[in-house]
Amino acid sequence: MKFIFLNLKRFDIPKEFGGVNSIAPMKNWAAHIVNNTQNKLQKYNADDVEIVMFFPEAHLIGAVDALCENSPVKVGCQGVFRDDTAVGGNFGAFTTNRTANAAKAIGCGGTIIGHCEERRDKLGIMQEAGIADTDAINRLLNKEIKCAINAGLKVLYCIGETSEEQPKWQDTLRRQLEIGLDGVDMTKVAIAYEPVWAIGPGKTPPQADYIQMIAKFVKEVTNGLPVVYGGGLKVDNAEMLASIPEIDGGLIALTRFSGEIGFYPDEYLEIIKTYLGK
């Protein structure tokens, strides 16, 4: 089984507000993406490839409404809160926070948790309070994962090491996995490896041997969970990533990195075609 994940961050914001959306008006943006991809993705067998798109909250309903019958696309949300409603128990409210039950009720099938940007945000809050406990971040993410799974969502759990953590990458990744997945139903989880130290303009991405080394390590620690490359699956690295036996797919974000940068459905489809070789 291969896994193709799509993180649609920032790409909904129009250019006049500092974003990079130039493909559709805001109210039609999610439907435009689903409508311009799902039919062409029908050729991939759902038993062989799982395709999940993580939408910003404002676009979840539009994305779900655009799904055709037996669509190969699954809609997910960008994270969930670490607490939730319960029948006969807690009814909320969780002002400003999206609960997993809310995402499930909208029509989501999955969520992305622990992305390096989420980790950075949580770390920044802790540093403001004078706390430098990265294990606390993993404990918070563990609560989010459990809430997601309890609501019936699958989870893409992101892990990765910063440049400061790279010399001790084994310890860093092991703690992210062991604490973050403590007591979790592992059948509902896939892992995305983000080489945080290599993400960004001017930085050199890891080569195949490094990615393979990490993927082997993750599979050993998690007893064989699916591992996808979270540093950006794109046309330029799709064939290389597909050649690594331990890598089970990728996480796509930007499809165009120069000129009119952003996300474009046709380019997204080309990335998948290149990675899968068909």
Catalytic residues: 115, 194
Cα 183 to Cα 86, 145, 179, 186, distances in angstroms: 20, 10, 9, 9
Contact 40, 86 (CB under 8 A): no
Exposed (0-12), middle (13-18) or buried (19+): which is 45, by Cβ within 10 Å?
A: exposed
Look at phi and psi of residue 71 and say left if phi exceeds 0, alpha if psi is from -120 to 50, else beta.
beta
Q: Which residues pair with 227 in a beta bridge?
A: 191
Torsion of CA 49, 225, 195, 150, to 10 degrees: 90
Which tokens belong to 170? 């084994």
Q: What residues contact residue 264 under an 8 Å CB cut-off, 6+ apart?
A: 23, 255, 256
Looking at residue 19, its amino acid is G
Q: What is the DSSP letter of 41?
A: G
Q: Which residue in the block uniquely carries the two structure tokens 């860093």?
A: 172
Which SS3 state, helix, strand or coil, does residue 110 take?
A: strand
- How many angstroms separate the CA atoms of 49 and 221, rounded? 24
Burial of 3 by CB count in 10 Å (0-12 exposed, 13-18 middle, 19+ buried)? buried
Rounded Cα distance, 125 and 52, in Å? 30
